[in-house]
Amino acid sequence: MQAPCPLGQYREASGYCVPVWVAVWDYSTHFFSNVSYDTWQSGQAEEGSAGRSPGDETNYALSVASETASFVANRPYWSDTCQKTLADIGISVADLPSGLTADPISRLQLAAGSVVFLDGTTSRAPLGDLYTNSAVPGLAALVPLQTVADVFAGSPGTRAMTELGGNRIWIRPSYFNQIGSGWAAAVVMHELVHNIIGLTDDDLARNLGITLVNGSRDITVRLLTDCLN
């Protein structure tokens, strides 16, 4: 197995590690600008979430997530590369009840229009609820008897969780208040993919032909690279 790329880099198909460029969405100009991962990280550290009460922090983060979903739902231009990546990841062309046919990006945008964001750190929803719409529901019986909040508390690296085949996304507010808008869009897109096709990270990675070295984050980096740059 190849050694993982340093933080802020990803492995291209050529096998070389190259820097990740982070697309930062400017809400005043409505354009992305690309900055290096290091620049973006140092910007986040300065920005932080200082001065907000926990309640404000949650509300702010939920509004950031909703605005991000709204951006995904309404963005008019998506590249062919992105369309192909979403198809590779498992979002097929589908017939809608209206009689129209939706391509992968349209399905992503439809999902973005109906998503509901919740605070994962306080949610009493049973973890098993996130699995009930999956392709093999019997496996939900093997999910630990924990709440979503238990998982967020026990796994600090979890920044967002999604129900398979539903429309709910649980977020970690402190994380959403720190990340840039381009990265937030990639995280939301990642979670929407779980909503739409009901597959776990291991299945998504396999569909993309990648090995998860940094976990979930590697899928988000791929979406950022192919769809938001």
For Zn ion, the binding residues (CB under 5 A) are 201, 216
The verdict on 92 binding other proteins (CB under 8 A) reads no
Sole residue written with tokens 């197995």:
1
For 61, 64, 160, 183, the CA distances from 179, given in Å and listed in that order, are 10, 10, 13, 6
User: CB under 8 Å to 12, separation ≥6 — which residues?
Assistant: 18
The verdict on 121 binding other proteins (CB under 8 A) reads no
The verdict on 50 binding other proteins (CB under 8 A) reads no
As measured in angstroms, the least distance from the Cβ of 4 to other proteins is 13
| Footprint of other proteins on 163-182 (CB under 8 A) | 164
Nearest Cα to Cα of residue 180 among 33, 12, 5? 33
User: CB under 8 Å to 77, separation ≥6 — which residues?
Assistant: none
Stretch that binds other proteins, among 36-44, 79-87, 91-99, 159-167 (CB under 8 A): 159-167
Radius of gyration, CA atoms only, the chain: 17
Considering beta carbons, is residue 173 or 198 the nearer one to other proteins? 198
Among 72, 111, 130, 179, binds other proteins (CB under 8 A): 130
Q: Which residues bind other proteins (CB under 8 A)?
A: 130-131, 134-146, 150-151, 154-155, 157-158, 160-162, 164, 194, 198-203, 205-206, 212, 215-216
